[in-house]
Amino acid sequence: MSFSIEQFVKALNAEYSNLTVSYQELDYNGKIPIFFVRFTTLRDLATTWSKLVDTIAFDFQSQLTDEFQIWNIYIFFIRPAGIIDELAYNSLKLKIENDTFSSRKILVEDHDTDEILNEHIINKNVNFSVNQVARPSANFEPDPLLWSILEDKVLKKQKITSEASSAFDELVKQLKTPRS
């Protein structure tokens, strides 16, 4: 049986009624498989993204034979319109983008696909010049409150530790408390 990406995308759209999936390949030092996923609500995104990623990993990624493609799958989740709860969205975005299983997952604003690819893969908008020297926009001022809360904590990049979670809760508590 041969694998057809068109049939796979059609099957995804049939299986998941609360989202729309489209696919394209980018030829950029090798073929890069890219999925664009559009949910209608934040709740649908929160409850379905992980299952969709699993389906792509098991039914698509497992069929690939090219190592470059296997390690360079992108899934762009298009931000649903009308999100009011920014904290919930940002929290979900952090969770999804830090998930290391199978593919790179990125939540993006609803822009043209070429603009998304330029910003996140191709980086045509980045200008490197050896003659340019970046000037700092502002001087760094350490915050004693933040330092006092974080100085003995172990924060890890990929997983939220209990120390990181409690430090975050303490920051929120301290920042909500008016200082005199």
CA 34/CA 12 separation, integer angstroms: 14
Instruction: Tell me the per-residue pLDDT of 14-68, one tens digit each, with 9 for 90 and over.
Output: 999 999 999 999 998 899 999 999 999 999 999 999 999 999 999 999 999 999 9
SS (H, E, C) 54-113: HHHHHHHHHHCCCHHHHCCCEEEEECCCCCCCHHHHHHHHHHHHCCCCCCEEEEECCCCH
Instruction: Tell me the per-residue pLDDT of 41-51, one tens digit each, with 9 for 90 and over.
Output: 999 999 999 99
User: Residue 1 has what pLDDT?
Assistant: 39
Q: What is the mean pLDDT of the chain?
A: 86
Structural domain that includes position 56? 5-122
- Residues 31 and 118 occupy one common structural domain: yes
Does residue 136 fall inside a structural domain? no
If DSSP codes are grouped into helix, strand and coil, which group holds residue 20? strand
Which carries the bigger pLDDT value, residue 137 or residue 56?
56
- Residues 108 and 165 occupy one common structural domain: no
Does residue 131 fall inside a structural domain? no
- Residues 89 and 46 occupy one common structural domain: yes
Does residue 137 fall inside a structural domain? no
Domains of the chain: total: 2
pLDDT > 90: what percent of the chain? 53
Does residue 138 fall inside a structural domain? no
